[in-house]
Amino acid sequence: MTGSFLTTLDGSSSGVTPIWLMRQAGRYLVEYKAVRNSEPDFISFCLNSDKAVEVTQQPIDKFDFDAAIIFSDILLVPWAMNRNVRFVPGTGPLMDPITAASDFSPNNLDLIGSKLSPVGEAIQKCRAGLANKKALLGFAGAPWTIITYLIEGQSSRDFANARKWLWHNDRQIEELMDTVIEATVRFLEIQARNGADALMLFDSWASAVPADRRDQIVIKPAQKIITELRKRGHQQPVIGFPKGIGEGLLAYCDQVDIAGIGLDHGVDPVWAAKNLPSHITVQGNLDPLSLIDGGEMMKTSISRILDAFADRAHIFNLGHGITPETPVQHVYDLVSQIRGYSA
């Protein structure tokens, strides 16, 4: 695959800024909702490879994005390992909180390969149907983000229970971390083996990790995952997304062998352009909420990002997922502004 996405992720700044958007398959699209409503249970939906392929392809057909991201979810990993994950409409994900590391038993690791094979099938089908120049991304949650759901049992505002474990149960956290790392590697391997061109590691709740524990909880686990993937023969470039860690991005970029770094909308692109290592491709970082109003303010914000990254390899994206209330026209506006930009 030699499209602009992979070339840019490889470090070349070709004058064309590739675009994709986090959560690009989602409820802001009527086409998505139609398929989604045909499968009331979210997990069955993710594991229906034909439907997953269909919604993965929708935003590519509609907006001509440069990369597709396989439709799946980070919480398929705890689901596969027998945590009773369910998605409740209007509430989000729920599961029974673990009370000890042993509740997430390494004895269940083999279930990843058997229960998540439909994600591999979806990747294969999707790759076969995508134009050569479009990249297909696989992904997983980073260990800390998965651990927050295991301990909290749901989404959380401040992750107080997970943070208490960091201080109170350090040994158990280490034990849990080892199992989650191995589970994540296996989930990513399924995707890599079946044709994902690049892999993204979402540490969506990294901002909750105290700064003095980042190395142990965010950085080392990410690096271990990449080392293991390489040892097992998978060479796909990895994009790290340690959301909300501010100055911690410097250590993350320095110590994790990533090709790209996802930047959230709290990061000043001018700072990032100046301070992040030039061999790492930057990805981001428009505030997804700016798309709701669109117009001049969105335009100015996009220009500022494009100008800041004009001299380095940059993949345009949002700072987090696109929201359901986003008007589709504003996505068209975003794409046409970026395609029309020349540095």
What positions carry a catalytic annotation? 23, 27, 36, 73, 149
Question: Is the separation of the CB atoms in 46 and 115 below 8 Å?
Answer: no
Question: How far apart are the C-alpha atoms of 133 and 46, rounded to whole Å?
Answer: 25
67-69, strands of its sheet edge to edge = 67-69, 135-141, 198-203, 238-242, 260-262, 281-286, 314-318
Torsion sign, CA atoms 224, 225, 228, 229? negative
Question: How far apart are the C-alpha atoms of 96 and 105, rounded to whole Å?
Answer: 14
Please give the full DSSP string across 253-270, using - where no structure is assigned: HHHS--SEEE--TTS-HH
At its nearest, how many Å lie between ligand 1CP and the CB of residue 256? 17
At its nearest, how many Å lie between ligand 1CP and the CB of residue 163? 16
Question: Is the separation of the CB atoms in 306 and 338 below 8 Å?
Answer: yes
At its nearest, how many Å lie between ligand 1CP and the CB of residue 22? 5
At its nearest, how many Å lie between ligand 1CP and the CB of residue 171? 26
Q: Angle CA(217)–CA(220)–CA(225) in degrees, nearest 5?
A: 110
Residues binding ligand 1CP (CB under 6 A): 22-27, 36, 42, 69, 71, 73-75, 87, 92-93, 139, 155, 202, 204, 321
At its nearest, how many Å lie between ligand 1CP and the CB of residue 307? 26
- The SS3 of residue 317 is strand
Residue 288's Cβ-side half-sphere holds a number of Cα atoms within 13 Å equal to: 18
